[in-house]
Amino acid sequence: MREDAFSKFHPAVNLIFFIGAMCFGVLLQHPVYLLAGMFASGVYYFLLNGRKGIKAIAGMIPLFIFITLFNPIVNTRGITVLFSLFGRPYTLEALIYGVAVAAIFVVMLLWFGCYGKVLTGDKFTCLFSNIMPSIALLLVMVFRMIPNFVRKAKQIIAARSSVGKGTEASASIKDKLTSGMSVIGVLTSWALEGSIVTGDSMRARGYGTAKRTSFMVYRMTKADWVLIVIMLAMLGVVIGFAASGCMYAEFLPERNIAPIEGVNIIAFITYLGFLLIPTFLHIKEVIQWNISRYGI
């Protein structure tokens, strides 16, 4: 896969964008802004992952529906009662708030998925290794833990199956739980041993004892500075409008949502434009590459 255009920028540029996108993705509960976040993160996630991205996004739909429908069960606040469930009111306001909560959850999953593709371990280490080497190493290990765990778990299960210790589909629940606990035990031992080996290896190589050099050299260019200025300016506009209350939204116990009209449209366009920066850069590079290819 050809490297994404936004990924080619300095890691500091990538970090500023994701901090802004994730922070506002959590703080802004206005339905229109949540919709913008879902659209922008979904499109960029698809551009980064292709067909696998479509499957992952489709897999989030049941989760979205579950969170939406489950929220009114545990949260009974609201004045518009739709019906009663288990002797508790199931309100329209709680249902709408469930949509907002589900949207925030999905947006965070998508942005973190994009973050993992763009801000790789070497970029994160480049940014923070000289400032806080131990924490930078720890965070890099944490970020790579889940995919490594999944891959290693598959290897352990395959190895157990090859020696006749796997579980069939018709096996009892007890046998499946016993086999699963055995896999988890082996996986935990492997993870602990790996962390000790990694720590000893990094200590033996003098990690954190002096200023660290990076295998990949990242230098700020004019394009990086221009994009940082643009992003900070857009974030400043969004923060200013948010402070004025034009992005306000309240669902419980009554709905109170700020309308998107007049000067408030400027805030929405600015916010959507900020979220679509990686997508614009990606599409721009694809167009330029196709033009150059057909022009040869």
Which region among 21-30, 73-82, 100-109, 190-199 has the lowest average model confidence (pLDDT)?
190-199
The residue ranking higher by pLDDT, 82 or 269, is: 269
Angle at 6 between CA 17 and CA 129, to 5 degrees: 65
The residue ranking higher by pLDDT, 292 or 111, is: 111
CB-hemisphere CA count at 13 Å for 26? 9
Per the structure block, which two tokens stand in for 120?
């790789």
Residues with Cβ < 8 Å from 72, sequence gap 6 or more? Answer: 78, 85, 90, 91, 94, 95, 98
pTM here is 0.73
Residue from 194, 159, 198, 193 nearest 179 by CA: 159
151 vs 184: CA distance, rounded Å: 13
What is the separation, in whole angstroms, between the first and last Cα of the chain? 22
296 vs 285: CA distance, rounded Å: 17
Phi first, then psi: give them for residue 129, nearest 5 degrees: -65, -35
Alpha carbon 2 to chain centroid, angstroms: 21
| 173-182 pLDDT per residue, tens | 777 777 778 8
Which region among 93-97, 163-167, 256-260, 272-276 has the lowest average model confidence (pLDDT)?
163-167
88 DSSP β-pair partners: 85
Q: If you average pLDDT over residues 227-241, what whole number do you get?
A: 93
| DSSP H helices in 119-244 | 121-128, 133-143, 145-162, 173-204, 222-244
Which region among 139-148, 222-231, 241-250 has the lowest average model confidence (pLDDT)?
139-148
Question: Which conformational region is residue 88 in: left (phi greater than 0), alpha (psi within -120 to 50 degrees), or beta?
Answer: beta
Q: How many residues does the chain have?
A: 296
Three-class DSSP labels, 215-258 = CCCCCCCHHHHHHHHHHHHHHHHHHHHHHHCCCCEECCCCCEEC
**pLDDT in the model for residue 229:** 95
pLDDT band, residue 233 (cuts 50/70/90): very high
pLDDT band, residue 219 (cuts 50/70/90): confident
- Residue entry with tokens 């050099």: 213
Phi first, then psi: give them for residue 256, nearest 5 degrees: -145, 95
